[in-house]
Amino acid sequence: MIKSSPIPRLGVRPTLVSSAPTRRGLHGLAVGVVRESDKDEARVAIAPAHAAKLIKAGATVTVESGAGERSGFKDEEYREAGAQVADAAHTWQQQLVAKVLPPTADEAARIENRTLLGIVQPNVHPELTKQLAGQGATVLSLDSLLRTLSRGQAFDVLSSQANVAGYRAVMEAGIHLPRPLAGSTSAAGKVRPANVLVVGAGVAGLAALQLAKKNGAITHGFDVRSAAKEQVEAVGAKFVVVDSGEDGSGQGGYAKEMSPEWFQAAERKLLEQAKNMDVIITTALIPGKPAPKLITKAMVEAMPKGGVTVDLAAKAGGNVETTVPGQVVTLPGDKTCVGYTNMESRMAPTASFLFSGNVSNFLLSMQDADKNYTVNLEDPAVRSVCVVHKGESLPPYVPPAPKTPPPQSTTPEPEAPPLNPQTEYLRSAGLATIGTSSALALASFVPNSAMMSTFALSCWVGNSCVKGVTHALHSPLMAQTNAISGLTIVGGMLQLGGGYLPGTVPQVLAATAVGLSAVNLAGGTLVTKKMLDMFRRPDDPPEYNHYYLAPGAVAIGSAALLYGTGNAPAALAPMLGLASALGCVGGIACLSSQQTARLGIYVGLSGIATGITSTLAYMHPEQTATYAQLLALGGSGAALGGYLATKISPTELPQAVAAFHSLVGIAATCTAVGDYMLHDQSKMEAFHNASVYLGAWMGAITATGSVIAYGKLAGSLGSAALKLPGRDAINAGLGLTSVAGLAGFLMTKDPMLAQMSLGAGVVSSGALGLHMTASIGGADMPVVITLLNSYSGWALCAEGFLLDQPLLTVVGALIGSSGAFLTRVMCDAMNRSLPNVILGGFGTPTGAAAKSDGNAEALIHTETDATGAAEMLRSADKVVIVPGYGLAVAQAASVVADIALRLREEGKDVKFAVHPVAGRMPGQLNVLLAEVGVPYDMVFEMEDINDEMADADVTLVIGANDTVNSAAEEDPNSAIAGMPVIQVWKSKKVIFMKRSMAAGYAGVDNPVFFKENTDMLLGNAKDTCDAINKALQA
């Protein structure tokens, strides 16, 4: 039996071409679609779907009544597409007449001096061409297209029709073969697979080999061109070699006529092969000449009983000696010879649709600068098919010889001097010396060496811990560190006072810090839990991670008992702080794998709770009313944070994280300013004052930068970078103001000047955060988010030094290291430096993008529709889906998950490929896919999937652009040159789903749009994915 043919059905081939994302035009063109007069020809030149596209482009289309009837297209369908349906006389009077086969002499006379478009075969029908030239007509013979033209694929009717014929040939062979193509084994016995030999490995031959292979046959390919060997083997067939040393490669991708000696060697080889072949399909043609006889009568007789030959060259005389053109004949030994001359018409709906796609693509490319139809003989595609122009017969088109490259310089480049090992040792030792000297200098400035040791070790531990977190969990990592950064509540708790209500400015600032930190603690923890729960697969074993709350609960309960009875040792509070820090570190470390990730929520929560408990010991127990204030502030903040967490969707995670960062920044600033107001600054050590200033400075820049990031990510503010005049000067001025404020704050003993200096630092920092973040475009928000995450950690570190709290120093170093590490990951993934990003520009000049030499072809893109995309996915064995931020914006993730899981259930290998900077925060797409039920073992990172792209039959790109832009690798002058990208263009077929042909955030055109293996699928991603899903279910 023959399986469902994997040939594209209606809608799969491109239906639109474009040299730019602008509208094409055919104003002034009147097209007539006539009925084919040949009784065996069922195709029609233009289908209703493509008629609609031509009409939309400005043309008028008139269709002869009944022209599409044999292809399954009714007159009413043409009317619905906007075409006129008329009689034959009126249709033949149109400016351009489109038909499939060459016209008869009478039909040619009806064209008069107008234009004919179709398959004309001028070498086969010279008298017809002469007649049309004598009438003053213009003849566009699509079969004369220069097939080596890279954009010619969109116009190549021979290839599209040969593809149909190749598939149909296998189906015809299966009908007449008295056995299945696939083998089988059962209790009744074993049936071997059929042996299929395809002679001629062009488009038709490869299509036949592919379908025969898919239906279980053992396939063999034969071609006179040695270059065909790789193509034959690529579709899983064995290449039959003739040992003659002669290569049959001709011009334009066709085979040339071979020598008598070669024919003798080939005859011996094919006779040997025929003895084992159940099916022989022949496709060999030589343009303008009779088909070569490759399969003799003796070979047919040598085939096993029931053997079948299918001759696709029957119309040109046939490759098989026993072929009778137009008939199926049976020879002795039950040998069947299929000689149909209308193989394409036996699949008329599909063949017509593909032919129509080529015709409409070609017509849509024929426009001048004013978008009017024109026959531009300077266009290689138009010139190659134009055999007669306004009555003048044109010679066959010969493309200009490629320009000779300039001679290479014979002067050898000077060799680089060998590396001196001593230089490297000196450089490394020098850096170590500078580091040691800096540490000693800092030690003389830091009064508490134990705290400095804690800080240094915490940075190292934090960095090592964060490096182990898998990329897929980078979003939960940010949420977890964001929750932990809510330990800014510790600073507020230590400054809290006034009883039930704060009574002084420092107490108001402390209360603010407590309330905002509580929002962050509860909201961040619940968001983290929500995200990690999404990664849980249905078949995962049950988890009881909440049991790990017990250690923290026991520690807290024991501490409460000891403090309540007055038996608490002096070291209890510091030990609780240490336990808290270790819990927070452990919570991050658990994110190193999917198996332990959800455990990290409870370990981290235990750490946070233990830290708050240890801080209670440092408060004033005699002020019982203050504890009530703490309970009220903390409880209301936690309740608000929990409520907000329930309203956050995966699409909103980036702006939610930014909003939580702003709360941490405000809390850190409040704590630093409050501490300054509680102490006499003139009596404090310089290090303490520096901690106050830096804590307030980093808190302010975190708060304001996060607010702007939130606005850009939420859509409240435009995502475009703000470009004020003198932008760099503004940033420099604000930075110098901050430095001057620090110097003034540390050096003065005047309280008024100190206040002014601290105020200048906070204001300039806040302004810097506002302006610098506003000057960064939306595409760089992942870097901004991670950088702000790092800022919040260093602010917490400063708070630890300020309050002499090792817990805050450890946790701050952990968060700062985490944010710094993720920032570096994001920058590396975009091939950008951090200063380059935060200063709001692409930085170093890149030169002009690759320029045309004046002979470059116009960029042509091809389009498909949802039905076509579904058919390609159904026919594929391996599918890669590459989601981008557009998937999140369109809220199409659930539909894409349905498509992927349905294809997987059908036995296809389906994988998702996620770029590190896809989305608006690290790992956002991983969370989005997990939310809709995509198992994490189907999701792969860029470096893991790129090696597999060449094996993918279809790659579906949804809402991504810069992350799959081949210019990053192919154009050294591109603005994104060197950026690591997912190499989607290496797959056999690419379906690019976007709203339009516009460039991505980087503003760089994407060459993948115009590659021969790419079909664009334009429109809303959600609607398009719904349509694909429905088509797959049909």
As a whole number, mean pLDDT of residues 757-783 equals 84
First-to-final CA distance of the chain: 22
Residue 24 pLDDT level (bands cut at 50, 70, 90): very low
Sign of CA dihedral 486, 488, 490, 494: negative
As a whole number, mean pLDDT of residues 500-523 equals 90
Q: Could you say which DSSP state residue 97 is in?
A: E
User: Is residue 302 domain-resident?
Assistant: yes
Same domain, yes or no: 613 and 686: yes
- For 905-944, write each residue's pLDDT tens digit: 888 899 999 887 777 777 778 878 887 888 888 888 888 8
Task: Return the beta strands (E) in 915-952 as ranges.
Answer: 939-941
- Of 387 and 776, the structure prediction assigns the larger pLDDT to 387
User: Is residue 973 domain-resident?
Assistant: yes
User: Is residue 386 domain-resident?
Assistant: yes
- For 526-569, write each residue's pLDDT tens digit: 888 888 887 777 777 888 888 888 888 898 888 888 887 888 88
Same domain, yes or no: 488 and 545: yes
pLDDT score for 359: 94
User: Is residue 935 domain-resident?
Assistant: yes
602 is catalytic: no
Overall domain count for the chain: 4
pLDDT score for 353: 92
Same domain, yes or no: 455 and 585: yes
Helices (H) and strands (E) in the chain, counts: 35, 25
Query: Of residues 168, 383, 920, 936, which has the active-site annotation?
Result: 920
pLDDT score for 273: 92
Residue 969 belongs to domain with CATH number: 3.40.50.1220
As a whole number, mean pLDDT of residues 145-165 equals 84
Same domain, yes or no: 651 and 770: yes
Burial profile 731-767: b = 16 or more Cβ within 10 angstroms, e = fewer: beebeebbeebbebbbebeeeeebbebbebbbebbbb
User: Is residue 481 domain-resident?
Assistant: yes
pLDDT score for 23: 39
User: Is residue 811 domain-resident?
Assistant: yes
User: Which residue's entry shows tokens 């919570």?
Assistant: 587
Residue 11 pLDDT level (bands cut at 50, 70, 90): very low
Same domain, yes or no: 51 and 82: yes
Same domain, yes or no: 772 and 896: no
The answer, yes or no, to whether residue 585 has pLDDT greater than 90, is no
Phi, psi of 902 (to 5 degrees): -65, -45
Residue after which a domain boundary falls, among 775, 808, 839: 839
Written as one string, the DSSP assignment of 583-594 is HHHHHHHGGGST
- For 169-217, write each residue's pLDDT tens digit: 999 999 999 989 998 877 788 889 999 999 988 889 999 998 999 889 9
pLDDT score for 218: 93
- For 304-333, write each residue's pLDDT tens digit: 999 999 999 999 899 999 999 999 999 988
Q: For the chain, what is the mean pLDDT?
A: 83
Is the separation of the CB atoms in 575 and 454 below 8 Å? no
Same domain, yes or no: 770 and 877: no
Strands 138-141 and 115-118: parallel
The answer, yes or no, to whether residue 854 has pLDDT greater than 80, is no
pLDDT score for 845: 38
Least confident of 273-282, 923-932, 1023-1032: 923-932
Same domain, yes or no: 679 and 802: yes
Name the helix (H) or strand (E) containing 534. helix 505-534
- Tokens (6 digits) for 770: 């506002």
- Of 255 and 384, the structure prediction assigns the larger pLDDT to 384
pLDDT score for 424: 75
Contacts 24+ apart (CB under 8 A), 752-759: 754/681, 754/682, 757/693, 758/673, 758/676, 758/692, 758/693, 758/696
- For 652-678, write each residue's pLDDT tens digit: 777 888 888 888 889 989 998 988 888
Same domain, yes or no: 906 and 828: no
Residue 205 belongs to domain with CATH number: 3.40.50.720
Residue 357 burial (10 A CB sphere; 0-12, 13-18, 19+): buried
pTM of the shown model: 0.60
The answer, yes or no, to whether residue 19 has pLDDT greater than 60, is no
pLDDT score for 419: 65
Strands 195-199 and 189-191: unpaired
- For 785-838, write each residue's pLDDT tens digit: 788 888 888 888 888 888 888 888 888 888 888 888 888 877 776 666 777 666
885 is catalytic: yes
How far apart are the C-alpha atoms of 896 and 890, rounded to whole Å?
11
- Of 376 and 532, the structure prediction assigns the larger pLDDT to 376
- Of 63 and 947, the structure prediction assigns the larger pLDDT to 63
The percent of residues above 90 in pLDDT, for the chain, comes to 29
- For 389-419, write each residue's pLDDT tens digit: 999 999 998 887 665 555 655 556 566 567 6
- Of 84 and 422, the structure prediction assigns the larger pLDDT to 84
Same domain, yes or no: 359 and 329: no
- For 957-1005, write each residue's pLDDT tens digit: 998 888 888 888 888 877 777 788 899 999 989 999 988 777 776 667 8
User: Is residue 427 domain-resident?
Assistant: no
340 is catalytic: no
Residue 165 pLDDT level (bands cut at 50, 70, 90): very high
Written as one string, the DSSP assignment of 281-320 is EE----TTSPPP--B-HHHHHHSPTT-EEEETTGGGT-SB
The answer, yes or no, to whether residue 20 has pLDDT greater than 50, is no
pLDDT score for 519: 93
Domain span at 77: 30-153+349-393
User: Which residue's entry shows tokens 């901004």?
Assistant: 784
Residue after which a domain boundary falls, among 770, 805, 839: 839
pLDDT score for 404: 57
The percent of residues above 70 in pLDDT, for the chain, comes to 89
Same domain, yes or no: 149 and 224: no
138: three-class secondary structure by DSSP:
strand
User: Is residue 432 domain-resident?
Assistant: no
Query: Of residues 254, 618, 627, 1001, which has the active-site annotation?
Result: 1001
Q: Let me know the angle formed at the C-alpha of 754 by 753 and 757, rounded to the nearest 5 degrees.
A: 85
Same domain, yes or no: 360 and 470: no
Residue 382 pLDDT level (bands cut at 50, 70, 90): very high
- For 114-129, write each residue's pLDDT tens digit: 999 999 999 889 999 9
Query: Of residues 676, 693, 885, 936, which has the active-site annotation?
Result: 885
